[in-house]
Structure 1
Amino acid sequence: MRSASKEPVPLHEEFIYCCGAATHVLKCGPWKDLSKDESKNLPRLLFMIIPGNPGLAGYYRTFIQALYCGLNQQYPVWVVSHAGHCKPPSGMEMIEDTDIKELEDVFGLNGQVEHKLNFLKKNVSKDIKLVLIAHSIGCYITLEMMKRASELQVLRSVLLFPTIERMAQSPQGKLMTPLLCKLRYVLYMPVYLLSFLPEGVKASLVRFALRGMKTCDESSITTSVNLFSVDCI
Protein backbone atom coordinates (compact mmCIF):
# COMPACT_ATOMS: atom_id res chain seq x y z
CA MET A 1 0.00 0.00 0.00
CA ARG A 2 1.29 3.44 -0.87
CA SER A 3 1.91 5.76 2.01
CA ALA A 4 -0.01 9.03 2.06
CA SER A 5 2.89 10.65 3.90
CA LYS A 6 5.34 9.92 1.07
CA GLU A 7 3.20 11.03 -1.85
CA PRO A 8 0.77 13.94 -1.92
CA VAL A 9 -2.80 12.82 -2.47
CA PRO A 10 -4.12 14.40 -5.69
CA LEU A 11 -7.27 16.35 -4.86
CA HIS A 12 -9.18 18.34 -7.46
CA GLU A 13 -11.85 20.86 -6.45
CA GLU A 14 -14.68 22.05 -8.68
CA PHE A 15 -17.66 24.36 -8.34
CA ILE A 16 -20.29 23.69 -10.97
CA TYR A 17 -23.98 24.25 -11.59
CA CYS A 18 -26.13 21.14 -11.69
CA CYS A 19 -29.92 21.38 -12.08
CA GLY A 20 -29.45 25.12 -11.74
CA ALA A 21 -27.92 24.85 -8.26
CA ALA A 22 -24.36 25.55 -7.18
CA THR A 23 -22.55 22.29 -6.44
CA HIS A 24 -19.17 21.59 -4.86
CA VAL A 25 -17.27 18.52 -6.06
CA LEU A 26 -14.08 17.08 -4.56
CA LYS A 27 -12.27 14.52 -6.70
CA CYS A 28 -9.51 12.38 -5.23
CA GLY A 29 -7.18 10.93 -7.82
CA PRO A 30 -5.68 12.11 -11.11
CA TRP A 31 -8.92 11.57 -13.05
CA LYS A 32 -10.84 14.83 -13.46
CA ASP A 33 -13.18 13.78 -16.26
CA LEU A 34 -14.99 10.43 -16.30
CA SER A 35 -17.54 11.32 -18.96
CA LYS A 36 -15.59 10.38 -22.09
CA ASP A 37 -16.78 6.97 -23.21
CA GLU A 38 -14.03 6.54 -25.77
CA SER A 39 -11.13 7.04 -23.37
CA LYS A 40 -9.19 3.84 -22.68
CA ASN A 41 -7.42 5.36 -19.68
CA LEU A 42 -10.53 5.80 -17.57
CA PRO A 43 -10.85 3.63 -14.47
CA ARG A 44 -13.74 1.19 -14.56
CA LEU A 45 -14.89 1.95 -11.01
CA LEU A 46 -15.85 5.13 -9.15
CA PHE A 47 -16.34 5.49 -5.40
CA MET A 48 -18.87 8.27 -4.88
CA ILE A 49 -19.82 9.80 -1.53
CA ILE A 50 -23.38 11.04 -0.94
CA PRO A 51 -23.25 13.38 2.08
CA GLY A 52 -25.57 13.83 5.01
CA ASN A 53 -27.11 17.12 6.11
CA PRO A 54 -25.63 19.68 5.89
CA GLY A 55 -24.28 18.32 2.64
CA LEU A 56 -21.05 20.29 2.36
CA ALA A 57 -18.39 18.34 0.50
CA GLY A 58 -15.57 19.71 2.64
CA TYR A 59 -16.67 17.65 5.64
CA TYR A 60 -15.57 14.53 3.74
CA ARG A 61 -12.21 15.82 2.48
CA THR A 62 -10.08 13.82 4.92
CA PHE A 63 -12.31 10.76 4.53
CA ILE A 64 -11.98 10.57 0.75
CA GLN A 65 -8.22 11.07 0.94
CA ALA A 66 -7.91 8.22 3.44
CA LEU A 67 -10.20 6.00 1.35
CA TYR A 68 -8.26 6.77 -1.82
CA CYS A 69 -5.00 5.77 -0.14
CA GLY A 70 -6.68 2.67 1.32
CA LEU A 71 -7.59 1.67 -2.23
CA ASN A 72 -3.90 1.88 -3.19
CA GLN A 73 -4.71 5.00 -5.23
CA GLN A 74 -6.17 2.78 -7.94
CA TYR A 75 -9.69 4.24 -8.14
CA PRO A 76 -11.17 7.74 -8.07
CA VAL A 77 -13.09 8.81 -4.97
CA TRP A 78 -15.50 11.70 -5.38
CA VAL A 79 -17.83 13.55 -3.04
CA VAL A 80 -20.65 15.67 -4.45
CA SER A 81 -22.28 18.28 -2.25
CA HIS A 82 -26.02 18.60 -2.04
CA ALA A 83 -27.56 21.16 -4.37
CA GLY A 84 -26.94 24.62 -2.95
CA HIS A 85 -24.97 23.33 0.05
CA CYS A 86 -21.85 25.31 -0.77
CA LYS A 87 -20.52 28.82 -0.96
CA PRO A 88 -19.77 29.49 -4.63
CA PRO A 89 -16.62 31.45 -5.44
CA SER A 90 -17.19 35.12 -6.09
CA GLY A 91 -17.69 35.79 -9.77
CA MET A 92 -18.98 32.30 -10.53
CA GLU A 93 -21.36 32.67 -13.46
CA MET A 94 -24.68 30.90 -13.64
CA ILE A 95 -24.80 28.31 -16.43
CA GLU A 96 -28.16 26.97 -17.50
CA ASP A 97 -28.58 23.20 -17.72
CA THR A 98 -30.29 22.97 -21.08
CA ASP A 99 -30.10 19.19 -21.40
CA ILE A 100 -31.92 18.21 -18.20
CA LYS A 101 -35.46 18.61 -17.00
CA GLU A 102 -36.30 21.55 -14.77
CA LEU A 103 -36.96 20.69 -11.13
CA GLU A 104 -39.61 22.46 -9.09
CA ASP A 105 -37.52 22.31 -5.91
CA VAL A 106 -33.95 21.16 -6.43
CA PHE A 107 -33.22 21.96 -2.77
CA GLY A 108 -35.89 19.59 -1.43
CA LEU A 109 -35.33 15.90 -0.77
CA ASN A 110 -36.75 14.78 -4.12
CA GLY A 111 -34.71 17.46 -5.87
CA GLN A 112 -31.52 16.27 -4.17
CA VAL A 113 -32.12 12.75 -5.50
CA GLU A 114 -32.59 14.04 -9.05
CA HIS A 115 -29.59 16.34 -8.58
CA LYS A 116 -27.28 13.37 -7.94
CA LEU A 117 -28.72 11.39 -10.85
CA ASN A 118 -28.24 14.32 -13.20
CA PHE A 119 -24.70 14.80 -11.96
CA LEU A 120 -23.88 11.18 -12.81
CA LYS A 121 -25.58 11.48 -16.19
CA LYS A 122 -23.50 14.50 -17.15
CA ASN A 123 -20.17 13.65 -15.54
CA VAL A 124 -19.72 9.88 -15.43
CA SER A 125 -19.64 7.46 -18.35
CA LYS A 126 -22.45 4.90 -18.33
CA ASP A 127 -20.08 1.93 -18.40
CA ILE A 128 -18.26 2.95 -15.20
CA LYS A 129 -19.31 0.88 -12.21
CA LEU A 130 -20.18 2.60 -8.95
CA VAL A 131 -19.67 2.08 -5.25
CA LEU A 132 -22.00 4.52 -3.49
CA ILE A 133 -21.05 5.44 0.07
CA ALA A 134 -23.77 7.41 1.81
CA HIS A 135 -24.01 9.14 5.17
CA SER A 136 -27.19 9.86 7.16
CA ILE A 137 -29.90 11.32 4.88
CA GLY A 138 -27.58 10.53 1.97
CA CYS A 139 -28.54 6.89 2.54
CA TYR A 140 -32.16 7.67 1.69
CA ILE A 141 -31.00 9.59 -1.38
CA THR A 142 -28.86 6.64 -2.46
CA LEU A 143 -31.70 4.13 -2.11
CA GLU A 144 -33.97 6.40 -4.15
CA MET A 145 -31.29 6.80 -6.81
CA MET A 146 -31.09 3.04 -7.26
CA LYS A 147 -34.88 2.77 -7.42
CA ARG A 148 -35.26 5.48 -10.04
CA ALA A 149 -32.25 4.61 -12.19
CA SER A 150 -31.96 0.83 -12.32
CA GLU A 151 -29.52 1.20 -15.21
CA LEU A 152 -26.83 2.46 -12.83
CA GLN A 153 -24.08 -0.13 -12.45
CA VAL A 154 -23.93 -0.07 -8.66
CA LEU A 155 -21.65 -2.80 -7.34
CA ARG A 156 -22.09 -1.88 -3.69
CA SER A 157 -23.94 0.67 -1.62
CA VAL A 158 -22.51 1.40 1.82
CA LEU A 159 -24.91 3.13 4.22
CA LEU A 160 -23.26 4.91 7.14
CA PHE A 161 -25.57 5.91 10.04
CA PRO A 162 -28.59 5.65 7.73
CA THR A 163 -31.61 7.92 7.95
CA ILE A 164 -34.05 6.10 5.71
CA GLU A 165 -37.41 6.05 7.50
CA ARG A 166 -40.34 8.25 6.50
CA MET A 167 -39.68 10.76 9.25
CA ALA A 168 -41.88 13.49 7.78
CA GLN A 169 -44.86 11.11 7.81
CA SER A 170 -44.54 10.16 11.47
CA PRO A 171 -46.73 11.99 14.05
CA GLN A 172 -43.73 13.98 15.28
CA GLY A 173 -42.58 14.60 11.73
CA LYS A 174 -45.95 16.00 10.69
CA LEU A 175 -45.64 18.52 13.50
CA MET A 176 -41.96 19.42 13.20
CA THR A 177 -41.41 19.41 9.43
CA PRO A 178 -43.61 22.45 8.62
CA LEU A 179 -42.29 24.22 11.71
CA LEU A 180 -38.64 23.71 10.81
CA CYS A 181 -39.24 24.64 7.18
CA LYS A 182 -40.66 27.99 8.27
CA LEU A 183 -38.09 28.61 10.99
CA ARG A 184 -35.23 28.44 8.50
CA TYR A 185 -36.27 31.85 7.17
CA VAL A 186 -35.75 33.28 10.66
CA LEU A 187 -32.08 32.30 10.38
CA TYR A 188 -31.41 34.35 7.28
CA MET A 189 -30.94 37.71 9.00
CA PRO A 190 -28.59 36.61 11.83
CA VAL A 191 -26.56 34.47 9.40
CA TYR A 192 -26.39 37.39 6.97
CA LEU A 193 -25.08 39.66 9.73
CA LEU A 194 -22.58 37.05 10.92
CA SER A 195 -21.27 36.69 7.36
CA PHE A 196 -19.62 40.11 7.72
CA LEU A 197 -17.37 38.89 10.55
CA PRO A 198 -13.67 38.36 9.73
CA GLU A 199 -12.81 34.80 8.75
CA GLY A 200 -10.63 34.39 11.84
CA VAL A 201 -13.52 35.31 14.12
CA LYS A 202 -15.81 32.85 12.34
CA ALA A 203 -13.24 30.09 12.75
CA SER A 204 -12.90 30.91 16.46
CA LEU A 205 -16.67 30.66 16.89
CA VAL A 206 -16.68 27.27 15.16
CA ARG A 207 -13.84 26.00 17.37
CA PHE A 208 -15.74 27.19 20.44
CA ALA A 209 -18.91 25.41 19.30
CA LEU A 210 -16.95 22.19 18.67
CA ARG A 211 -14.83 22.39 21.81
CA GLY A 212 -16.51 19.31 23.28
CA MET A 213 -15.27 17.04 20.51
CA LYS A 214 -12.21 14.94 21.34
CA THR A 215 -10.83 15.26 17.83
CA CYS A 216 -11.73 17.86 15.25
CA ASP A 217 -10.32 17.80 11.76
CA GLU A 218 -9.11 21.18 10.52
CA SER A 219 -11.00 20.75 7.25
CA SER A 220 -14.23 20.43 9.27
CA ILE A 221 -13.58 23.80 10.86
CA THR A 222 -12.85 25.41 7.50
CA THR A 223 -16.00 23.89 6.03
CA SER A 224 -18.15 24.91 9.00
CA VAL A 225 -17.15 28.53 8.45
CA ASN A 226 -19.15 28.33 5.20
CA LEU A 227 -22.30 27.88 7.29
CA PHE A 228 -22.04 31.59 8.05
CA SER A 229 -23.06 32.18 4.44
CA VAL A 230 -26.73 32.62 3.48
CA ASP A 231 -25.97 30.56 0.36
CA CYS A 232 -25.59 27.45 2.54
CA ILE A 233 -28.88 27.59 4.47
Structure 2
Amino acid sequence: MENMVTDIRDEPQTDFTYCSGANTEVLKFGSCQLHSGHKLLFLIIPGNPGIVGFYRSFMQTLHSKFGYRHPVWAVSHAGHCVPPDSMDMVEDASFAAEGDVFGLNGQIEHKLAFLREHVPRETRLVLVGHSIGCYVILEMMKRDPDLKILKAVMLFPTIERMAQTPQGKVMTPVLCHMRYAAYLPLFLLSLLPDTLKSSLVKLVFGGIHSLDLSVLRPTVGLLSGDCAANAMYMGAQEMKKVLERDNLTITNNLEKLIFYHGSMDHWCPVQYYHDIKRDFPRGDIRLCEKGFRHAFVLDAGREVGRMVAEWIRGDLTNL
Protein backbone atom coordinates (compact mmCIF):
# COMPACT_ATOMS: atom_id res chain seq x y z
CA MET A 1 0.00 0.00 0.00
CA GLU A 2 2.81 2.43 0.86
CA ASN A 3 4.33 1.94 -2.58
CA MET A 4 0.99 2.71 -4.18
CA VAL A 5 0.72 5.96 -2.22
CA THR A 6 4.27 6.92 -3.13
CA ASP A 7 3.58 6.26 -6.79
CA ILE A 8 0.52 8.51 -6.70
CA ARG A 9 2.43 11.32 -5.03
CA ASP A 10 5.22 10.95 -7.56
CA GLU A 11 2.86 11.37 -10.52
CA PRO A 12 3.05 14.96 -11.80
CA GLN A 13 0.46 17.05 -13.54
CA THR A 14 1.14 19.02 -16.70
CA ASP A 15 -0.73 22.28 -17.26
CA PHE A 16 -0.68 24.57 -20.26
CA THR A 17 -1.48 28.23 -19.88
CA TYR A 18 -0.93 31.53 -21.64
CA CYS A 19 1.57 33.73 -19.83
CA SER A 20 2.77 37.03 -21.31
CA GLY A 21 0.65 36.02 -24.29
CA ALA A 22 2.67 32.89 -25.05
CA ASN A 23 1.98 29.19 -24.58
CA THR A 24 3.63 27.95 -21.40
CA GLU A 25 3.94 24.44 -20.00
CA VAL A 26 4.07 23.92 -16.23
CA LEU A 27 5.09 20.58 -14.73
CA LYS A 28 3.82 20.18 -11.18
CA PHE A 29 4.66 17.71 -8.44
CA GLY A 30 2.44 18.12 -5.41
CA SER A 31 -0.21 20.84 -5.12
CA CYS A 32 -1.44 22.01 -8.50
CA GLN A 33 -3.01 25.22 -7.19
CA LEU A 34 -1.38 27.40 -4.56
CA HIS A 35 -3.19 29.41 -1.87
CA SER A 36 -2.06 31.60 0.99
CA GLY A 37 -1.55 28.54 3.21
CA HIS A 38 1.30 27.23 1.05
CA LYS A 39 4.49 28.26 2.81
CA LEU A 40 7.01 27.18 0.18
CA LEU A 41 7.31 26.44 -3.53
CA PHE A 42 10.26 24.95 -5.38
CA LEU A 43 10.32 26.55 -8.84
CA ILE A 44 12.64 25.25 -11.56
CA ILE A 45 13.81 27.74 -14.20
CA PRO A 46 15.19 25.63 -17.07
CA GLY A 47 18.11 26.06 -19.37
CA ASN A 48 17.75 26.40 -23.12
CA PRO A 49 15.82 24.68 -24.59
CA GLY A 50 13.44 25.38 -21.74
CA ILE A 51 11.46 22.16 -21.76
CA VAL A 52 10.11 21.15 -18.36
CA GLY A 53 9.93 17.44 -19.17
CA PHE A 54 13.73 17.28 -19.07
CA TYR A 55 13.60 17.95 -15.32
CA ARG A 56 11.07 15.27 -14.36
CA SER A 57 13.50 12.94 -12.53
CA PHE A 58 15.24 15.85 -10.82
CA MET A 59 11.92 17.27 -9.61
CA GLN A 60 10.58 13.90 -8.52
CA THR A 61 13.68 13.43 -6.36
CA LEU A 62 13.36 16.86 -4.74
CA HIS A 63 9.67 16.27 -4.05
CA SER A 64 10.31 12.93 -2.35
CA LYS A 65 13.36 14.07 -0.38
CA PHE A 66 11.24 16.57 1.55
CA GLY A 67 8.50 14.06 2.28
CA TYR A 68 6.16 15.35 -0.44
CA ARG A 69 5.43 18.38 1.78
CA HIS A 70 6.37 21.12 -0.67
CA PRO A 71 5.16 21.50 -4.26
CA VAL A 72 7.83 21.37 -6.94
CA TRP A 73 7.01 23.14 -10.19
CA ALA A 74 8.91 23.85 -13.39
CA VAL A 75 7.83 26.57 -15.80
CA SER A 76 8.88 26.30 -19.44
CA HIS A 77 10.33 29.11 -21.45
CA ALA A 78 7.71 30.82 -23.55
CA GLY A 79 7.25 29.05 -26.85
CA HIS A 80 9.56 26.13 -26.09
CA CYS A 81 6.74 23.61 -25.63
CA VAL A 82 4.34 22.03 -28.09
CA PRO A 83 0.88 23.45 -27.37
CA PRO A 84 -2.10 21.12 -27.10
CA ASP A 85 -4.45 21.05 -30.07
CA SER A 86 -6.80 23.47 -28.31
CA MET A 87 -4.12 26.19 -28.02
CA ASP A 88 -1.95 28.24 -30.35
CA MET A 89 1.68 29.08 -29.70
CA VAL A 90 0.66 32.68 -28.90
CA GLU A 91 -2.63 34.02 -27.60
CA ASP A 92 -2.14 37.50 -29.06
CA ALA A 93 0.54 37.73 -31.75
CA SER A 94 0.89 41.52 -31.56
CA PHE A 95 1.20 41.49 -27.76
CA ALA A 96 3.79 38.70 -27.86
CA ALA A 97 5.78 40.50 -30.55
CA GLU A 98 5.67 43.83 -28.72
CA GLY A 99 7.12 42.26 -25.58
CA ASP A 100 9.54 40.09 -27.59
CA VAL A 101 8.38 37.26 -25.36
CA PHE A 102 10.61 34.67 -27.04
CA GLY A 103 13.73 36.80 -26.52
CA LEU A 104 15.90 36.74 -23.42
CA ASN A 105 14.40 39.84 -21.79
CA GLY A 106 10.91 38.63 -22.64
CA GLN A 107 11.61 35.28 -21.00
CA ILE A 108 12.69 37.02 -17.77
CA GLU A 109 9.50 39.10 -17.72
CA HIS A 110 7.56 35.93 -18.54
CA LYS A 111 8.81 34.26 -15.31
CA LEU A 112 7.97 37.32 -13.21
CA ALA A 113 4.51 37.39 -14.77
CA PHE A 114 4.06 33.70 -13.99
CA LEU A 115 4.82 34.33 -10.31
CA ARG A 116 2.40 37.26 -10.18
CA GLU A 117 -0.39 35.23 -11.76
CA HIS A 118 0.07 31.81 -10.13
CA VAL A 119 1.96 32.13 -6.83
CA PRO A 120 0.71 33.97 -3.73
CA ARG A 121 3.00 36.84 -2.87
CA GLU A 122 3.63 35.53 0.66
CA THR A 123 4.71 32.06 -0.51
CA ARG A 124 8.43 31.62 -0.02
CA LEU A 125 10.46 30.38 -2.96
CA VAL A 126 13.35 28.06 -3.56
CA LEU A 127 14.40 28.86 -7.11
CA VAL A 128 16.52 26.33 -8.96
CA GLY A 129 18.12 27.54 -12.16
CA HIS A 130 19.97 25.54 -14.75
CA SER A 131 22.36 27.11 -17.25
CA ILE A 132 20.71 30.29 -18.64
CA GLY A 133 18.00 29.78 -16.02
CA CYS A 134 20.56 31.05 -13.49
CA TYR A 135 20.91 34.31 -15.41
CA VAL A 136 17.12 34.58 -15.48
CA ILE A 137 16.99 34.14 -11.68
CA LEU A 138 19.58 36.85 -11.06
CA GLU A 139 17.56 39.19 -13.27
CA MET A 140 14.37 38.29 -11.40
CA MET A 141 16.09 39.13 -8.10
CA LYS A 142 17.29 42.43 -9.54
CA ARG A 143 13.94 43.46 -11.03
CA ASP A 144 11.78 42.37 -8.10
CA PRO A 145 13.86 42.50 -4.91
CA ASP A 146 10.72 41.91 -2.79
CA LEU A 147 10.32 38.32 -4.00
CA LYS A 148 10.23 35.96 -1.00
CA ILE A 149 13.27 33.96 -2.09
CA LEU A 150 14.61 31.63 0.58
CA LYS A 151 17.33 30.09 -1.59
CA ALA A 152 18.39 30.22 -5.23
CA VAL A 153 20.40 27.25 -6.47
CA MET A 154 22.46 27.89 -9.60
CA LEU A 155 23.32 24.68 -11.44
CA PHE A 156 25.99 24.93 -14.14
CA PRO A 157 25.41 28.70 -14.35
CA THR A 158 25.83 30.58 -17.60
CA ILE A 159 25.76 34.09 -16.17
CA GLU A 160 28.74 35.74 -17.89
CA ARG A 161 30.83 35.90 -21.05
CA MET A 162 28.85 33.21 -22.85
CA ALA A 163 30.15 34.01 -26.32
CA GLN A 164 33.74 33.65 -25.05
CA THR A 165 33.30 30.09 -23.75
CA PRO A 166 34.47 27.12 -25.86
CA GLN A 167 30.88 26.21 -26.73
CA GLY A 168 29.94 29.85 -27.21
CA LYS A 169 32.67 30.35 -29.78
CA VAL A 170 31.19 27.49 -31.80
CA MET A 171 27.53 28.38 -31.35
CA THR A 172 27.63 32.19 -31.67
CA PRO A 173 28.04 32.23 -35.47
CA VAL A 174 25.52 29.39 -35.81
CA LEU A 175 22.87 31.06 -33.65
CA CYS A 176 23.47 34.68 -34.64
CA HIS A 177 24.17 34.37 -38.36
CA MET A 178 23.21 30.91 -39.61
CA ARG A 179 20.13 29.85 -37.66
CA TYR A 180 17.76 30.67 -40.51
CA ALA A 181 19.51 28.01 -42.57
CA ALA A 182 18.42 25.47 -39.96
CA TYR A 183 14.73 26.33 -40.20
CA LEU A 184 14.08 24.29 -43.35
CA PRO A 185 15.64 21.07 -41.97
CA LEU A 186 13.71 21.65 -38.73
CA PHE A 187 10.50 22.05 -40.66
CA LEU A 188 11.15 18.84 -42.58
CA LEU A 189 11.93 17.01 -39.31
CA SER A 190 8.67 18.25 -37.85
CA LEU A 191 6.78 16.44 -40.63
CA LEU A 192 8.14 13.04 -39.60
CA PRO A 193 5.93 10.75 -37.51
CA ASP A 194 6.75 10.72 -33.80
CA THR A 195 7.90 7.10 -33.96
CA LEU A 196 10.61 8.02 -36.46
CA LYS A 197 11.54 11.14 -34.48
CA SER A 198 11.88 8.97 -31.39
CA SER A 199 14.21 6.60 -33.23
CA LEU A 200 16.37 9.53 -34.34
CA VAL A 201 16.55 10.89 -30.79
CA LYS A 202 17.58 7.47 -29.45
CA LEU A 203 20.29 7.32 -32.10
CA VAL A 204 21.63 10.76 -31.11
CA PHE A 205 21.62 9.84 -27.42
CA GLY A 206 22.99 6.36 -28.03
CA GLY A 207 26.41 7.21 -26.60
CA ILE A 208 25.02 8.13 -23.17
CA HIS A 209 25.35 4.95 -21.14
CA SER A 210 22.91 5.79 -18.32
CA LEU A 211 20.45 7.88 -20.32
CA ASP A 212 17.33 8.89 -18.38
CA LEU A 213 14.58 7.61 -20.66
CA SER A 214 12.17 10.27 -19.42
CA VAL A 215 14.02 12.85 -21.58
CA LEU A 216 13.15 11.10 -24.85
CA ARG A 217 9.58 12.32 -25.17
CA PRO A 218 10.40 16.00 -24.42
CA THR A 219 13.21 15.86 -26.98
CA VAL A 220 10.80 14.56 -29.62
CA GLY A 221 8.56 17.54 -28.83
CA LEU A 222 11.47 19.89 -29.50
CA LEU A 223 11.51 18.65 -33.09
CA SER A 224 8.15 20.28 -33.74
CA GLY A 225 9.90 23.11 -35.58
CA ASP A 226 8.54 26.21 -33.86
CA CYS A 227 9.89 25.15 -30.47
CA ALA A 228 13.42 24.66 -31.77
CA ALA A 229 13.27 27.94 -33.71
CA ASN A 230 12.21 29.82 -30.57
CA ALA A 231 14.99 28.16 -28.58
CA MET A 232 17.55 29.17 -31.20
CA TYR A 233 16.26 32.75 -31.23
CA MET A 234 16.64 32.96 -27.45
CA GLY A 235 20.11 31.40 -27.75
CA ALA A 236 21.21 34.07 -30.22
CA GLN A 237 20.26 36.76 -27.73
CA GLU A 238 22.12 34.95 -24.95
CA MET A 239 25.33 35.17 -26.95
CA LYS A 240 24.86 38.93 -27.41
CA LYS A 241 23.50 39.91 -23.99
CA VAL A 242 25.08 37.63 -21.37
CA LEU A 243 28.31 39.55 -21.02
CA GLU A 244 29.57 40.73 -17.62
CA ARG A 245 28.65 38.95 -14.41
CA ASP A 246 26.11 40.92 -12.34
CA ASN A 247 28.25 41.32 -9.23
CA LEU A 248 25.93 43.85 -7.61
CA THR A 249 22.93 41.50 -7.64
CA ILE A 250 25.11 38.65 -6.39
CA THR A 251 26.43 40.85 -3.57
CA ASN A 252 22.92 41.91 -2.56
CA ASN A 253 21.72 38.28 -2.41
CA LEU A 254 24.89 36.36 -1.59
CA GLU A 255 23.48 34.59 1.49
CA LYS A 256 20.62 33.20 -0.61
CA LEU A 257 22.77 31.87 -3.46
CA ILE A 258 24.39 28.50 -4.07
CA PHE A 259 26.52 28.11 -7.21
CA TYR A 260 27.46 24.70 -8.59
CA HIS A 261 29.97 24.76 -11.43
CA GLY A 262 30.90 21.87 -13.68
CA SER A 263 34.48 20.65 -13.82
CA MET A 264 34.25 19.93 -17.57
CA ASP A 265 31.65 22.49 -18.68
CA HIS A 266 32.19 24.00 -22.13
CA TRP A 267 29.48 26.60 -21.43
CA CYS A 268 31.07 27.71 -18.16
CA PRO A 269 34.82 26.98 -18.00
CA VAL A 270 36.47 26.12 -14.68
CA GLN A 271 38.24 29.49 -14.86
CA TYR A 272 34.84 31.15 -14.34
CA TYR A 273 34.48 29.15 -11.12
CA HIS A 274 37.88 30.32 -9.91
CA ASP A 275 37.03 33.91 -10.84
CA ILE A 276 33.73 34.02 -8.94
CA LYS A 277 35.26 32.14 -6.00
CA ARG A 278 37.99 34.78 -5.83
CA ASP A 279 35.53 37.66 -6.07
CA PHE A 280 33.10 36.18 -3.51
CA PRO A 281 35.22 34.22 -1.02
CA ARG A 282 32.31 34.08 1.47
CA GLY A 283 29.86 32.75 -1.08
CA ASP A 284 28.57 29.17 -1.28
CA ILE A 285 30.31 28.34 -4.54
CA ARG A 286 31.02 24.70 -5.33
CA LEU A 287 32.87 22.80 -8.04
CA CYS A 288 31.49 19.48 -9.26
CA GLU A 289 33.62 16.52 -8.22
CA LYS A 290 31.40 13.86 -9.78
CA GLY A 291 31.95 14.52 -13.47
CA PHE A 292 28.35 15.59 -14.20
CA ARG A 293 27.80 17.05 -17.66
CA HIS A 294 26.32 20.52 -18.26
CA ALA A 295 23.10 18.86 -19.44
CA PHE A 296 22.89 16.86 -16.21
CA VAL A 297 19.24 16.01 -16.81
CA LEU A 298 20.26 13.50 -19.47
CA ASP A 299 21.75 11.03 -17.02
CA ALA A 300 22.12 12.51 -13.52
CA GLY A 301 18.84 14.24 -12.66
CA ARG A 302 18.22 12.06 -9.61
CA GLU A 303 21.77 12.38 -8.30
CA VAL A 304 21.74 16.17 -8.60
CA GLY A 305 18.28 16.27 -7.03
CA ARG A 306 19.54 14.37 -3.96
CA MET A 307 22.53 16.68 -3.74
CA VAL A 308 20.46 19.88 -3.90
CA ALA A 309 18.09 18.54 -1.23
CA GLU A 310 21.01 18.04 1.16
CA TRP A 311 22.40 21.52 0.51
CA ILE A 312 19.19 23.30 1.47
CA ARG A 313 17.72 20.91 4.05
CA GLY A 314 18.86 23.08 6.95
CA ASP A 315 17.09 26.14 5.53
CA LEU A 316 13.76 24.32 5.44
CA THR A 317 13.71 22.90 8.97
CA ASN A 318 10.99 25.29 10.17
CA LEU A 319 8.78 25.01 7.08
User: What is the distance in 2 between the residues matched to 1:3 and 1:107?
Assistant: 41
Of residues 37, 46, 49 in structure 1, which corresponds to 2:44? 49
Which AA in structure 2 matches 1:85? H
User: What is the distance in 2 between the residues matched to 1:197 and 1:127?
Assistant: 46
- Deviation readout 1:45-68 (Å, 9 max, x if unpaired): 000000011111110011111110
User: What is the distance in 2 between the residues matched to 1:14 and 1:139?
Assistant: 23
Alpha-carbon distance change, 206 to 101 in structure 1, aligned in 2, over 3 angstroms:
closer
- Deviation readout 1:125-179 (Å, 9 max, x if unpaired): 0000000001011001011100110010000000000100043589x97996465
1:7 Cα deviation from its structure 2 partner: 3.2
- Deviation readout 1:59-78 (Å, 9 max, x if unpaired): 00111111101110000000
In the TM superposition, 1:172-183 aligns within 5 A as 177=172, 180-183=175-178
Contact 1:4 1:69 (8 Å CA) reproduced:
no
**Aligned pairs, number:** 223
Which AA in structure 2 matches 1:15? F
Q: Which structure features the higher share of helix residues?
A: 2
Of residues 174, 185, 191 in structure 1, which corresponds to 2:186? 191
1:7 corresponds to: 7
Unaligned runs of 5+ in 2: 229-319
Contact 1:19 1:103 (8 Å CA) reproduced:
no
Percent identity, aligned pairs only? Answer: 50
User: What is the distance in 2 between the residues matched to 1:21 and 1:212?
Assistant: 35
Q: Tell me whether 1:227 sits opposite 2:194 in the alignment.
A: no
User: What is the distance in 2 between the residues matched to 1:101 and 1:185?
Assistant: 20
Contact 2:129 2:153 (8 Å CA) reproduced:
yes
Q: CA RMSD in A?
A: 2.6
Contact 1:48 1:79 (8 Å CA) reproduced:
yes
Farther off after superposition, 136-145 or 102-111: 102-111
Alpha-carbon distance change, 62 to 165 in structure 1, aligned in 2, over 3 angstroms:
same
Alpha-carbon distance change, 6 to 17 in structure 1, aligned in 2, over 3 angstroms:
closer
Contact 1:192 1:230 (8 Å CA) reproduced:
yes
Unaligned runs of 5+ in 1: none
2:61 corresponds to: 66
> Normalising by structure 1, what TM-score?
0.86
Alpha-carbon distance change, 173 to 20 in structure 1, aligned in 2, over 3 angstroms:
same
Alpha-carbon distance change, 229 to 7 in structure 1, aligned in 2, over 3 angstroms:
closer
1:28 Cα deviation from its structure 2 partner: 0.3
User: What is the distance in 1 between the residues matched to 2:91 and 2:213?
Assistant: 32
1:143 corresponds to: 138
In the TM superposition, 1:1-233 aligns within 5 A as 6-8=6-8, 9-29=10-30, 31-34=31-34, 36-37=35-36, 42-92=37-87, 95=91, 103-168=98-163, 177=172, 180-233=175-228
